[in-house]
Amino acid sequence: MAEKRTEAHHQNAEGLDIQAPDAILSFLADAQIEAAKAVRGAIPAIAAAAEIVAERLKDGGRLAYAAAGSSGLMALADALELPGTFGIGRDRIAILIAGGDEAFRTLAGGPEDDTDEASAAVAAAGIGERDCLIAISASGSTPYAVAALEHARSRGAATIAIANNRDVPLFRSADVAIVLETPPELIAGSTRMGAGTAQK
């Protein structure tokens, strides 16, 4: 498996805590710009994914999102904005986030490893052959996202995977794999920053 860029050391991370505030903010701004640039290389895959989503919605299907932690928040933001921006009925959108409603109050780490919860969420949402599920994971190996995608695929749904690393488990069962190769996070482990920017 390829090295996870999301977990690599950022060149400006060393001594960040002793830098002047304006220097830190400049580093953070530059990191966000670099993260957003990662989307350009993924445009062909994003276009292929958009066609699949449009097809399923046109045929009366639904769009589901499955993710954990910060990626779950990106999914939630996108899903909640679809009705107002694109006129897609809320009943045509399903949001599956590790930890369920409790995740909206606290992003505990445990639920992201719960594959049984992921499979149960897909089944409870009734995801099937007319639908499309987008699974999102910065690392590309979050068990909840991987299990949700695999279970949705087994039920006949189209599947799209979004991750910030190449050659990851999330891509194995996806109809379309979207690789957002963001640079290492300036603040280690904070994938809600650069990776989250590219995902959104």
**Residue 112 catalytic?**
yes
- DSSP per position, 66-99: EE-HHHHHHHHHHHHHHHHHH---GGGEEEEETT
What is the pLDDT at residue 31? 81
Question: Does residue 5 register a pLDDT over 80?
Answer: no
**Residue 67 domain-assigned (yes or no):** yes
Mean of all residue pLDDT scores within the chain: 87
Exactly one of 112, 117, 150, 185 is catalytic; which is it?
112
What is the pLDDT at residue 91? 96
**Residue 33 domain-assigned (yes or no):** no
**Residue 28 domain-assigned (yes or no):** no
- CA–CA gap between residue 125 and residue 156 (Å, rounded): 14
**Residue 81 catalytic?**
yes
Name every residue whose Cβ is closer than 8 Å to that of residue 193 and which is 6 or more positions away in sequence.
Answer: 28, 31, 32, 35, 185, 186, 187
**Residue 11 domain-assigned (yes or no):** no
User: Residue written as tokens 């954990």?
Assistant: 68
Exactly one of 3, 51, 81, 129 is catalytic; which is it?
81
Residue 100: give its domain's CATH number.
3.40.50.10490
Q: pLDDT for 52-89, tens place per residue?
A: 999 999 999 999 999 998 899 999 999 999 999 999 99
Strands 176-179, 132-137: pairing kind: unpaired
**Residue 74 domain-assigned (yes or no):** yes
What is the pLDDT at residue 182? 87
Cβ atoms of 179 and 160 closer than 8 Å: no
**Residue 12 domain-assigned (yes or no):** no
For the whole model, what pTM was predicted?
A: 0.87
Domain count, the chain: 1
Structure tokens at 182: 């963001």
What is the pLDDT at residue 1? 43
Sheet architecture: strand order including 158-163: 93-97, 63-67, 132-137, 158-163, 176-179
**Residue 157 domain-assigned (yes or no):** yes
Cβ atoms of 186 and 27 closer than 8 Å: yes
Domain that holds residue 81: 43-199
**Residue 26 domain-assigned (yes or no):** no
